[in-house]
Structure 1
Amino acid sequence: MRKKLLTGVALALVLSAGMAQAAPSAAVTAAVADKGRPEADTKRDADRKPAAMLEFAGVKPGDTVVDFIPGGGYFTRIFAKTVGPKGHVYAMGNPPPPNATAPPPIAAVAADPQYGNITIVSIAGGDFKLDKPADIFWTAQNFHDLYARQRNIDVPKVVKAIYDNLKPGGVFVVLDHQGAPGAPIDPDDKLHRIDGAAVRKQVEAAGFKFEAESNVLRNPADDHTKMVFDPSIRGHTDQFIYKFRKPR
C-alpha cells in the first residue's frame, strides 16, 4: 500500500512538471517544422527551443506580433508562419547607419515571397507608432543592447512606447542572457548580459504587470562571468524569459 502511494505521488509530480509548460500548438509546431527555414536557423533550434518560446509567449494565428530588434530574422520567420495570412509581423529595429553598404539581413526575409505578412519598421531614439496595436512585443537576447553607450537610447522611452503600442491585455516578452544577480547595467556591454531583476524593474516602471517566467533556457552551470560569445558557453548561456502584460 505504501509503495503504491509513493508511486502515485511520484506520478503526480511528473505530470505537474509536464504541465508547467504547455505543449506547442499545431500552428507553432508547423511553423518550426517549415521546410522553408534556412538550415543555419534550424541548426540552432536545439539551443533556442523556439516552439517552447512561442508557446510561452502565446503566439497564435491572426495575431499581430512585433519582433523587436530581429537580427537575421530567426524568430521573425517563425512568427510569420505561426500568425498566418490573417496575422501580421512587424520587424522593428534601428535604421541602417548612413555608411551602410548593404541592407540589414531582415530586409531579405521581408522580401521573401513566402513571407507576405512582414513589415519592417525603423525606430529612432525610441519614437515609433504602429498603424495598429500589437498583441505581442517580443525581444530575444537584445534588451541588454538598449543600454549600450554607443546606441544612445532612452530606454524608459522605448519601453513606454512598447506599452503604448500594445493592445490592452497584450504581452511583452523579454528573453536575454542572465547577468550576475545584482550586477549594475554595463554601458560598455562587455559581457552582453543583464540581470533579470533590472529588466523587471525597468519594464514594470512603464506600467506592465509581471505575469510569468519560463525556465526552459536556464543553465545553472553558467556562472555569469563570461562574455556570451566565449566558446565555452556560447549557445548555452543561462537565459531568462519573462512575460509582462499590459493591464486591460
Structure 2
Amino acid sequence: MYDQSKQSELIRFARIDAGSTVIDVYPGDGDWTRLFSDVVGPEGRVYSFVPAEVAHFKNDPVGLMRTLAQEPGRENVEAVSADLVAMAEATQPADVVWVHLFYHDLHTALMQTRGATAADFNRAVYQRLKSGGSYVIVDHAAATGSGTSNTQTLHRIDPTSVREEVEAAGFALEAQCATLANKDDPHSIKVFDPTIKGKTDRFVYRFVKP
C-alpha cells in the first residue's frame, strides 16, 4: 500500500465521502475495502467485488472478502462475486467504481475465459454507476503508443488506450492525478521485477458518468 498521505489523496481524488456507495473491483487483500469502509461510515456501503474469473485462486479471494466483511465495524461491507460482466446485477447503484492495478487484466486470457472484454466491463460499470458517479482507474503505465500489447507480458497498459476504451462506453475524463507518477520507470520491464516493484509509473484517471 501507499503511505497515508497518498492514500488520503487518492480517496479525495475518487470523491469518496461519508455515505457513499463504492464498488471495489478485484480487492486483493482488501486494504482499499477497509479504507473505504472507514470513510463511508455506517450510512455508506462498500461492495468488495471479486470477479468469478479469479474466484478459484488458491488464496480463496471470495472467502477472504467474506471474512473481512465479518470484522467488527465492517457491517457496511458486502463481499460479492460474479462474472465481470454481471457486476451490475450483483451490486446496487454506486457513487464510485474503483479499479486499482486491475484494468490491464481485462486484456489478458485469464479475464477473458468467460467471454468478458474490456468493452463489456466498461459498459457494466456505466450501467451500475449513478449519474455523475466516478469511475476511478489506477494502473501501471506502459510505453506511449504500445496500446494493450504489454498487458499479458509486463502487466502494463498505455494510458491512452484506457482513456479511449472508457470514453467509448460513454464516460468523460474529468481529472487526472500525478501522485503515483515515476518518470524514472523505463516502462519496459515487468511490474514484478525487483528493480521497479512497488515503484512503477502509475496513472490515475477519474471518469464521470454524465
Taking structure 1 as the reference length, the TM-score comes to 0.77
Bigger relative contact order (CA 8 A; separation at least 6)? 2
Q: Deviations over 1:5-30 (max 9, x none)?
A: xxxxxxxxxxxxxxxxxxxxxxxxxx
Q: Does 1:163 align with 2:120?
A: no
Q: Does 1:120 align with 2:83?
A: no
Taking structure 2 as the reference length, the TM-score comes to 0.90
Query: Which of 126, 129, 132 in structure 1 is aligned with 2:92?
Result: 132
Correspondence 1:64-103 to 2 at 5 A: 64-95=21-52, 103=60
Query: Which of 195, 199, 203 in structure 2 is aligned with 1:232?
Result: 195
Q: Determine the structure 2 residue equivalent to 1:241.
A: 204
**Aligned-partner residue type, residue 148 of structure 2:** I
Q: Determine the structure 1 residue equivalent to 2:20.
A: 63
Q: Determine the structure 2 residue equivalent to 1:211.
A: 174
Larger Rg: 1
Q: Is the 8 A contact 1:95 1:124 kept in 2?
A: yes
Q: Is the 8 A contact 2:48 2:80 kept in 1?
A: yes
Correspondence 1:7-46 to 2 at 5 A: 44-46=1-3
Q: Is the 8 A contact 2:154 2:190 kept in 1?
A: yes
Q: Is the 8 A contact 1:126 1:155 kept in 2?
A: no
Structure 2, unmatched stretches of 5+, are none
Deviation at 1:124, TM superposition (A): 1.1
| 3-state secondary structure, aligned to 2:86 | coil
Q: Is the 8 A contact 2:53 2:111 kept in 1?
A: no
Identity of aligned residues (%): 37
Q: Distance in 2 between matches of 1:98 and 1:91?
A: 13
Q: Determine the structure 2 residue equivalent to 1:53.
A: 10
Q: Let me know the Cα RMSD of the aligned residues.
A: 2.0
Q: Determine the structure 1 residue equivalent to 2:105.
A: 145
For the structure 1 residues 244 and 100, does the alpha-carbon distance in structure 2 shift closer, same or farther, using more than 3 Å as the test?
Answer: closer
Structure 1, unmatched stretches of 5+, are 1-43
Moved over 4 A (4+): 96-102
**Structure (1/2) with the larger strand percentage:** 2
Query: Which of 193, 201, 210 in structure 1 is aligned with 2:156?
Result: 193
Q: Determine the structure 1 residue equivalent to 2:68.
A: 109
Q: Is the 8 A contact 2:52 2:84 kept in 1?
A: no
In terms of mean alpha carbon deviation, does 104-113 or 170-179 score higher?
A: 104-113
For the structure 1 residues 241 and 125, does the alpha-carbon distance in structure 2 shift closer, same or farther, using more than 3 Å as the test?
Answer: closer
